[in-house]
Amino acid sequence: MSKPKVAFFDFTSCEGCQLNKLNFENDLLDMLKLVDIVEFREAMDDTADEYDIAFIEGSISSPTCVERIHDIRRRTKILVALGQCAVSGGINAMKNDQPSDWVREEVYGDDKYLFPSLPAMPVRAVVKVDYEVRGCPMSAPEYLHVLKSLVLGRKPEIFDHAVCVECKLKENECVLDKGMFCLGPVTRAGCDALCPSFGQYCTGCRGPVSNINKNGTIEMLKAHGFSVTEAMKRMKLFNTNDMEKSISWGNR
């Protein structure tokens, strides 16, 4: 089999996911043996007409973004959303909660319509997404898993259990017990419980699990003296779009 042609694209984002992907210095040269990087604007001048796998970072937040992502979808066989901005709108979507006109006026004054802007959307709101790598920044273990599977022609596995599970496996001291407001019980695993492993609470950067145990969660929050409203607010940090639409935790 010839090496798959891989391309990377960035939309509205901090480019942290792209950077994170360059952080496997020890494996980087080996990886280059397995794939052929044909387009990657931040690192190279070349462009290509077609790709086997396109990795997309960032959310869709302007009319130009919409056009570009359509063009990429037409050229690629597989499309992978890289990081929470691309998967759910990520931190960019926090602005969706505010009146757009007012926000623009505050920043640009009379020139508010100089730079077209849309609500920050996930890539899947506009074109079909085949696979996702979650996290802000995208979780390194999951990225390597998806990349390897695709290169080998396999279907990557999708995680849908809570960060708590990974955290217990690592035998970390629970940060909830230390008085921190941790979202680990409702956040999707796949990061190896990175934040609690460093003494910090989970901010929910990989988004909620699809099946939240509502009653259990509410009990657990209450037991630690935290409110459901506050939990929702914190979860919105990286997941405003998800929290608005599909998920309701009942008595807010």
Which residues form the interface with other proteins (CB under 8 A)?
Answer: 10, 12-20, 22-23, 25-26, 28-29, 32, 37, 40-46, 61-62, 64-65, 90-92, 94-95, 97-98, 103-104, 106-109, 111, 114-117, 136-137, 194-195, 197-200, 203, 234, 237
Judged by CB under 6 A, the chain residues 95 through 154 that form the site for ligand SF4 are 135-138
Using a 10 angstrom Cβ sphere, with 0-12 exposed, 13-18 middle and 19 or more buried, the burial of residue 110 is: exposed
65 makes contact, choosing from other proteins, ligand SF4, none, with CB < 5 to 8 Å by partner type, with: other proteins
- Specify the long-range contacts of residues 208-217, CB closer than 8 Å, at least 24 apart: 208/235, 208/239, 208/242, 208/243, 208/247, 209/160, 209/161, 209/162, 210/160, 211/160, 212/186, 212/247, 212/249, 214/249, 214/250, 217/185, 217/186, 217/249
In the complex with ligand SF4, the residue whose CB is nearer, 77 or 161, is: 161
Integer angstrom CA distances of residue 24 from 124, 158, 193: 28, 22, 19
23 makes contact, choosing from ligand SF4, other proteins, none, with CB < 5 to 8 Å by partner type, with: other proteins
Tokens 């492993």, located at residue:
197
Stretch 160-199: interaction string toward ligand SF4, x if CB under 6 A: ---x-----------------------x---x-xxx----
CB of 72 to ligand SF4, least distance (A): 17
Cis status of the peptide bond prior to 137, with omega within 30 of 0: yes
251 makes contact, choosing from other proteins, ligand SF4, none, with CB < 5 to 8 Å by partner type, with: none
CB of 62 to other proteins, least distance (A): 4
In the complex with other proteins, the residue whose CB is nearer, 16 or 149, is: 16
* Residue closest to 185 by CA, chosen among 157, 216, 159: 216
In the complex with other proteins, the residue whose CB is nearer, 149 or 172, is: 172
CB of 202 to ligand SF4, least distance (A): 3
Question: What CA–CA distance (Å, rounded) separates 224 from 19?
Answer: 37
| Tokens, residue 169 | 């496996």
CB of 31 to other proteins, least distance (A): 12
End-to-end CA distance of the chain: 54
In the complex with other proteins, the residue whose CB is nearer, 130 or 244, is: 244
Amino acid at 197: S
* Residue closest to 83 by CA, chosen among 165, 139, 145: 139
237 makes contact, choosing from ligand SF4, other proteins, none, with CB < 5 to 8 Å by partner type, with: other proteins
Binding positions for ligand SF4, rule: CB under 6 A:
13-14, 16-17, 57-58, 83-85, 90-91, 135-138, 163, 187, 191, 193-195, 202-206
